[in-house]
Amino acid sequence: MAQFTPRDEDVAFQPPPMTWRSWYTVVMLGVILMLSHIDRGVISLLVQPIKKDLGLSDTEMSVIIGIAFSSAYIVAGLPLSRLADHASRKLILVAGLSFWSVATAASAMANSFGALFAARMAIGAGESVQAPASLSLISNVVPRHRLPRAFSIYSTGGFVGMAASMVIGGVLIGHLAEMPDITLPVLGTLHDWQMVFLICGIPGLIVATLFFFTVPEPPRPPKSAATPKKQLPGRDVFDFLKDNRVFYIPMFLGASLWSIEALGMTAWRVAFFERSYGWGPQTAGPLLGIIGIVTMPFGLAAGAAIGEWLDKKRYPDAMLRLYCWSHALMLPLSILAVLVWDPWAAVILWALSNFFTGVGHPGMNSAIQIVTPNHLRGQVSWLYLFFVSIVGSGMGPMIVALTTDYVLQDEAQLRWAMVLVAGTLGPLGLYLSFRSMKPYGEMVKRIWAAEEAARPA
């Protein structure tokens, strides 16, 4: 394995000091992330009404929730992430946000499995540009010692988006359920869940316009003589990952297993409350959403503070240490939340689980940006998000559904399907994440040494 060597231009380049515009850019990127999670996640709240109107099984719903979205994300994501490493990330984000917002609204016209599958594919393709472009932008406007704080603000958008999809969807479905079906020109007659999709797609077009006119494209590190004048071929990107595989492989695989467990639990959480406790989506959705909105920002803020404190203490593995230990605390709480037989105890345990998930989130995002060369961050970020969001969202809901439909053969046993998935994949993901800590720390030490050598005597 080749030794990790920081690039001269990455060592020399430092983003300018933080200004109000820098923080504004981070906040706007968080808003875009929030919208992506609302548009992708609101469908989890609509499982039961969609199943009823379209006559679908749990497995068919899991295909729409997961595979439809993730397959398009994979196909579109790699070329677009390569584009984000060289072209205007601002314009890429505006185009992607506009596209997936229109696709979300278009889900309102779905009246069959195929139509809803196609709409979810369009959402996945549009959202594939969000993370690579956003993470690359943040790394160029925020100094390294402020990355945990910046990523906590950015990640707040994602967690608030997931929670807001439950609150907004629950409130809308509760309100619209009391109304007769609505007939609109061109769109025809829409059920309540179709109206939810139509309403959720509108804000993205407004934010895309605002982002285009108010956020500038930041400069990248200047190219040295050794920097390729043209985009690196995919083989060279692969070679970089192979040379540093002792960090990237366990980190990617561990994150993948974590996401399968976490997103599998999240996708079926509202259905779990309905089947186990009799709470409908109009009750469980807003309640779980509010819990997420309250707990996640506190967790992210705590994670940012702890991450910056560990960095000041000069722990080279600070960011991954934060990520791993917070997940070690989160996992048993997540499993217990499914095992308890009182709904309010489950809500409290999930709130604590959400908090510790938030604590660890800034660490992983910061770690990847710190050790990945600037000209590869879009592609490596896409690969990380492929394992975290796409493998997780594609396989997590389906693994839970397959366990319910074919192993337990009873949808009322959803509780035990979730326990089996979390209890199997969670510990394995935790083990792999801890395995990535030491090689990550070695890479950071080499970056520190290169920066020290570059300082004037």
Is the residue at 223 inside a domain? no
Is the residue at 450 inside a domain? yes
pLDDT tier at 439 (50, 70, 90 boundaries)?
Answer: very high
**pLDDT for the residue 457:** 60
pLDDT per position as a tens digit, 108-161 = 888 888 889 999 999 999 998 888 889 888 888 888 778 888 888 888 887 777
**pLDDT for the residue 209:** 95
What token pair was written down for 97? 């946000």
The neighbour count for residue 60, using CB atoms within 10 Å, is 18
Is the residue at 366 inside a domain? yes
Is the residue at 2 inside a domain? no
Average pLDDT over the chain, rounded to an integer: 83
Domain CATH code at residue 426: 1.20.1250.20
Q: Which structural domain range is residue 414 located in? A: 8-215+231-454
Q: What is the DSSP letter of 411?
A: G
**Position of tokens 């895309």?**
208
Is the residue at 261 inside a domain? yes
Task: Please say if the pLDDT value at position 401 is more than 70.
Answer: yes
pLDDT per position as a tens digit, 305-360 = 998 898 888 889 988 999 999 999 999 998 999 899 898 999 999 899 989 988 98
Is the residue at 246 inside a domain? yes
**178-190 per-residue burial string, b: 16 or more CB within 10 A, e: under 16:** eeeeeeeeeeeeb
Is the residue at 3 inside a domain? no
Which residue from 389, 418, 285 is spatially nearest to 71, judged by alpha carbons? 389
**pLDDT for the residue 452:** 80
Which residue from 32, 131, 151 is spatially nearest to 379, judged by alpha carbons? 131
Pair 169, 281: CB distance under 8 Å: yes
pLDDT per position as a tens digit, 11-29 = 555 666 778 888 999 999 9
Task: Please say if the pLDDT value at position 37 is more than 80.
Answer: yes
Task: Please say if the pLDDT value at position 33 is more than 60.
Answer: yes
The number of domains in the chain is 1
Pair 172, 46: CB distance under 8 Å: no
**pLDDT for the residue 185:** 66
pLDDT per position as a tens digit, 209-239 = 999 999 988 877 665 545 555 555 566 778 8
